[in-house]
Amino acid sequence: MERTDLRAATRAAVRPATPRQRAARAASNGGEPTLEFAGRVPYDAYVQASTLHRLQTPLSDDPGEMSFLMVSQIMELYFGLTCHELREAQRLLRADRIWDALAPLRRAALHLEGLNAAWHGLRWMTPADFNRFRNLLGEGSGFQSAMYRHLEFLLGLRDEALIRPFRRQTEVYAELRAALAAPSLWDDVVALLARHGHDLPAELLDRDVTGEHQPHPAVEAAWVRIYDEQAGPDNHLRLLGEALTEVAEQFGDWRWNHIKAVQRTMGAKVGSGGSAGLAWLQRSMARVVFPELWSARTAM
């Protein structure tokens, strides 16, 4: 079903109402909730709760596996939600609507905070707990999350080799290739700085965006100047810098929490997806999101 048709069907099931209609319904119910519906419960039609709760297929009878599976699914939803917000921020920044872009960036940071909180649901897991079902996962690994790759690409962490596992999933692969070919959020921020009078070299603005952005002293200098200006509601670029810093910090926390979770549940064993596990994750932490926004702080 096309998205527009699905939206129309959902609206019909949810039954949108005006404030006057809601008041009339409450009056006719004597203040009690509506208990009779002609079809599907509107909440379920909107949230798709019954569908969500059928999407878990544990591979063992171990009761802890459900926790591992559902927390992984919750993280996938947060990856997608954060990507949604970052794309909206990109759209607004490309239109020079800096003030408006702050809202989706702040929401993205809060979603990443929720993503970090999801790790708490796995703090009970010891190596013995994980080992009861780990072998059944085969080569399944969080490394293979396509939505996480979308999130990394949006944040400027780019490695074309990491989309190779999806080559035989043609639709997923095409979406990842398109994401890799499009500017990252940081690329759009750098272009914004140039449009607002900061002197940035042409080779930086016209670079091949499929490759990972390399820190540049001109971008760092631009942020130093922005932060040297008077703080206040009129310094939109400074507010943008702080919103981006919060996003980068929350994402960094997620990567660090991932390392701690791996240490707790499997130590330095090799990863399920063929990597070195903990050592591979530790190396990945060296790739910094929005690097000049951090290095500029040394020169401020």
Q: Mark residue 32 as left, alpha or beta (left: phi above 0; alpha: psi -120 to 50; beta: remaining).
A: beta
Cβ contacts of residue 230 below 8 Å, gap of 6+? Answer: none
* SS3 of residue 230 by DSSP: coil
Predicted confidence (pLDDT) per residue in 178-237, tens digit: 999 999 999 999 999 999 999 999 999 999 999 999 999 999 999 999 999 877 778 999
> CA separation (Å) from 63 to 69, 141, 253?
11, 20, 28
CATH architecture of the domain with range 65-299: Up-down Bundle (1.20)
pLDDT at 263: 87
- DSSP-derived letter for residue 270 is P
Q: What is the location of CATH 1.20.58.480 in the chain?
A: 65-299
- 134 known member of a binding site: yes
Convert 140-190 into a string of H (helix), E (strand) and C (coil).
CCHHHCHHHHHHHHHHCCCCHHHHHHHCCCHHHHHHHHHHHHCCCHHHHHH
Task: Tell me the CA distances in angstroms from 197 to 54, 135, 151, 230, one per residue in order.
Answer: 53, 56, 29, 17
pLDDT tens figures, 89-132? 999 999 999 999 999 999 999 999 999 999 999 999 999 999 99
Q: Is the pLDDT higher at 260 or at 240?
A: 240
| Residue with the two structure tokens 């090799």 | 270
**CA pair distance 112, 246, nearest whole angstrom:** 10
Neighbours of 222 (CB within 10 A): 24
Q: What is the pLDDT of residues 45-79, one digit of tens each?
A: 899 999 999 999 999 999 999 999 999 999 999 99
Global pTM value: 0.92
DSSP letters, 181-229, are HSPPHHHHHHHHHHHTT----HHHHTS-TTSPPPP-HHHHHHHHHHHHS
Distance of alpha carbon 186 from alpha carbon 220, whole angstroms = 13
Residue 50's pLDDT is what? 94
DSSP SS3 for 91: helix
Q: Is the pLDDT of residue 273 over 70?
A: no
